A and B are shown apart, each in its own frame.
Chain A
Amino acid sequence: MDTLPHSTTSWPDSLPGAFERALLAIDRVRAWQVMEDALRRGVPALQLAQMCITPALERIGQGWESGVLALSQVYMAGRIAEEVVDGLFPPPEVLRGGQPHIALALLEDYHALGKRMVHLVLRSAGYRCVDYGRVTAEELSERIQEEAPDRVLVSTLMYRSALRVEVVKSSLLRAGCAIPLCVGGAPFRFHAGLWRNVGADAWGAEAADALAFVEGRLKGAP
């Protein structure tokens, strides 16, 4: 992964806050203005992504987790951030060198919002992801074994779907596949130990935790 300069020369003091406020106000125009101003001042694109966009999305995610913000705000913030990144910055593979192979999956459900929000956060941080879409436990296990991603993020909504993670993980372990798997979704938010019970390697309380998982800084995760 690229390293960042810690210098904040040319870094406008109000930039992260202004961008976050624009996201929460669902103000696309303002969000674009904030980023364009920063680029004009010479702030590098990757630095903007890592020190402005990503922290804003992480704070917004934490706001949802603590009950201060609503999911509608988190989702719209992620969408605007993605549009800004797509419009102003180079493609992920150019923006960020040494891309890990990240896979996303929705396990046995039709509610794709959680996976989509994880995708938005990762995309906004300059990561490229492979989206497996809606899959059964068996399909997910097979695809992971075929493609051997570096990290897998699994979204669930129903309790039954959460339990199906155990089928995926058992199948992978039987095949000698130890690829780290992070789970998220409502059932895991209502049962603190459920992710361990189903054999996952980590869990995320909100979409921005996916970024911490991918970057190896999620507490307790590999």
Chain B
Amino acid sequence: MNEEVLTKAKADLKLNLLNAEAESLSSSDLYMWLIDSGLSSEVAIRLKNFADVTENVTDHAISIGKIVLLKIVDFIKLHPNLAIGIAVGAAIGALVSLIPFLGVYLAPVVASISATIGAIAGHRIDKIEQGQTVNTSTDIIAIGQDAIEIAKEFFKLLAEIFNAVFNEQVLSFRV
């Protein structure tokens, strides 16, 4: 397969295209969709707050919160048979791992139960990658591990875009 090399300018273009798509959605609509899909209001309200995070890229405001949330929604839609709590937990686990600077803003969501499952599963994946032994039971945590691996693949392009654009500039997010 002929893979496209993601340069800084290409990443910037893709980020602007994602932003234009995300900008047409309101954070309230996203919140309602998450609630209707069965996500707990505690997690949904924290995600809604996260949707308001923006960042300036060359004097142009980019709604990174909405972009990320939109992609999480896409991930949930792509896996309709995965419990929404697990899907959101896995998505956040993968995003924090792939795009470290998002960790600060997603921390409140990580505190929720579903995300904790994701966090533990993520911790196990990290241990495996470091060659350490982990508990290999086939319980809900193990399902979370699989879900995070699926999510990491799904969010790979988004992570490449974010890291290419934001790694070179001083982050000054505002909510």
A binds B: no
Interface residues of A (CB under 8 A from B): none
